[in-house]
Structure 1
Amino acid sequence: MNPDYSLIIHGGAGENIMLNTHVTGVIEFALQTALTLGSKVLQQGGTSLDAVQRSVEALEDCFIFNAGKGSVLNEKGKNEMEATIIDGSARRSGSVACVQRVKNPIKAARLIMEKTSHSLIVGDGAEEFLQGLEEMEKPVVPEYFLTDIRQKELMAKQSGSK
């Protein structure tokens, strides 16, 4: 039986980071996991926003994607992440930008949309503001986001090689 919904995700459109059969397999597994988790939310009667958030959280938790754990490093070697979630039927949105200690920026964006009168919060002030919301998880240490892949990319970029 076909479900009465469609859930579509993508894992980015950046450069091919050392693609080989093993890495491609990891990417495909991670994408399938994100789809499965989002689909499960819908199968259990959850909302489309719940499903989208769950799928994006799975991508943010995976080191391979340029989101959350696998975010590309800025020129100073730090992660600056952003996320936006939109509820088109209610004409509302929530966004965070330039956050560095928020484990799942999509979760923070949803809290901004649902629990505040803001549509966007940015940087250190955003992180302080989020900690005032009881639903927000504790911040993670910046080292949580560092991965070998992203550190090698940054070193290559800084040395002028690809």
Structure 2
Amino acid sequence: MTKQAEPARKWAILVHGGAGTIERNQLRPEQEAAYRAALSKVVEAGAAVLDRGGSALDAVEAAIHLLEDDPLFNSGRGAVFTAEGRIELDASIMDGASLAAGAVAGVTRTRSPLTLARTVMEKSPHVMMVGAGADAFSASQGLEQVDPGYFATQRRWRSLENFLKAHDLPIPAKPPGLEQPDPANGLAHDEGKHGTVGVVALDLKGDVAAGTSTGGTTGKQWGRVGDSPIIGAGTYASNASCAVSATGSGEYFIRLTVARDIAALVELKGMSLQAAADEVIQNKLTALGGDGGIIAVAPDGQLAWSFNTSGMYRGRAALGEPVSVGIYKDEP
């Protein structure tokens, strides 16, 4: 009996920068160019990790670091404000090889919430930490701490003021940090209520991983937490099925356990990754009244994204394939 050769391994990465009302008539040429350049840079950073044999987890973290530091997106610096004038950050990460996961919510002082989520996964017995306790754990582990004003940008404050006025809510005192120049000023687009960033990756070992990071929704109250830090809703990864990162109306994604549902359709019903993604996003999510989208990758190299909004900032690359980015619904 001749021994069959193992299939050639490949790597792949997909990123998203949020879904929402993103249409051609809303973006000026320089805005569109800025988002496409940012997405390309993020995809290339993650692809470089994978191409040199790095892990899917490392690629996810490297790519999301760039997104969290880019004020074009609603995560880390450039995140939206709560009704109280605070910035509260959420993130999660999952390893498809071991099903290990970590998540944080309501973080205010850790520069990279995604790295903190990974530290929760790798350096603690827990899956999720929240608020001041999460930041205290972060400091104890030597992660970079910043003043909350580091995350603040003028355009997000204006968005909060407009939101609070429209809802007849009091406007809090301006927090520190708004005096610093906003490098995204004039380029950033208000993606609406679905600003989130996420990355999924497949490495040369055949392992998948997913990560998601967000500032939540403008004007959120009472410690609201959406789907992004919830394993199974906004983030999920398993080598038995796929890795998924979501962006959208978080309450609906939680109720549908969107990320895990897609994985279950792949694993238990044998659906293709694209078919599973479309079933959950285009059918189940739409029927329930929610909107948003996902990116996903499977251990066999299948790539998929699906969204029921007019746009989703997204990009992808794979071994032997060039980087491609998209914004609008009619782009491949």
TM-score (norm 1): 0.91
Partner-residue secondary structure (3-state), 1:83: strand
Q: Distance in 2 between matches of 1:45 and 1:5?
A: 9
Q: 1:88 maps to which residue?
A: 96
Letter in 2 for 1:9: V
- Is residue 2:68 matched to residue 1:60? yes
- Is residue 2:163 matched to residue 1:149? no
Q: Distance in 1 between matches of 2:107 and 2:21?
A: 24
Partner-residue secondary structure (3-state), 2:12: coil
Q: Distance in 2 between matches of 1:127 and 1:19?
A: 36
Counterparts of residues 10-159 of structure 1 (less than 5 Å)? 10-16=16-22, 19-134=27-142, 136-137=143-144, 139-159=145-165
Q: 1:78 to 1:14 in 2, by over 3 A?
A: farther
Q: 1:160 maps to which residue?
A: 166
- What residue ranges of structure 1 are gaps of 5+ in the alignment? none
Q: Distance in 2 between matches of 1:29 and 1:50?
A: 22
Q: Distance in 2 between matches of 1:71 and 1:21?
A: 23
Alignment deviations for residues 48-90 of structure 1 (CA, whole Å, 9 cap, x no partner): 0000111111110000111111211111121110100000210
Q: Distance in 1 between matches of 2:27 and 2:159?
A: 14
Q: Distance in 2 between matches of 1:127 and 1:43?
A: 33
Higher mean C-alpha deviation, range 18-27 or range 67-76: 18-27
Bigger-Rg structure (1/2): 2
Q: Distance in 2 between matches of 1:44 and 1:60?
A: 23
* Displacement after TM superposition at 1:14 (Å): 3.6
* Displacement after TM superposition at 1:15 (Å): 4.4
Partner-residue secondary structure (3-state), 1:9: strand
Q: Distance in 2 between matches of 1:16 and 1:124?
A: 35
Q: Distance in 2 between matches of 1:14 and 1:141?
A: 30
TM-score (norm 2): 0.45
Q: 1:157 to 1:16 in 2, by over 3 A?
A: farther
* Displacement after TM superposition at 1:131 (Å): 1.2
Give 1 or 2: higher strand fraction.
2
CA RMSD across the alignment: 1.9
Letter in 1 for 2:51: Q
* Displacement after TM superposition at 1:16 (Å): 4.4
Higher mean C-alpha deviation, range 11-20 or range 34-43: 11-20
Q: 1:14 to 1:141 in 2, by over 3 A?
A: farther
Give 1 or 2: higher helix fraction.
1
* Displacement after TM superposition at 1:151 (Å): 1.0
Partner-residue secondary structure (3-state), 2:16: coil
Letter in 2 for 1:54: A
Paired residues in the alignment total: 158
Letter in 2 for 1:91: L
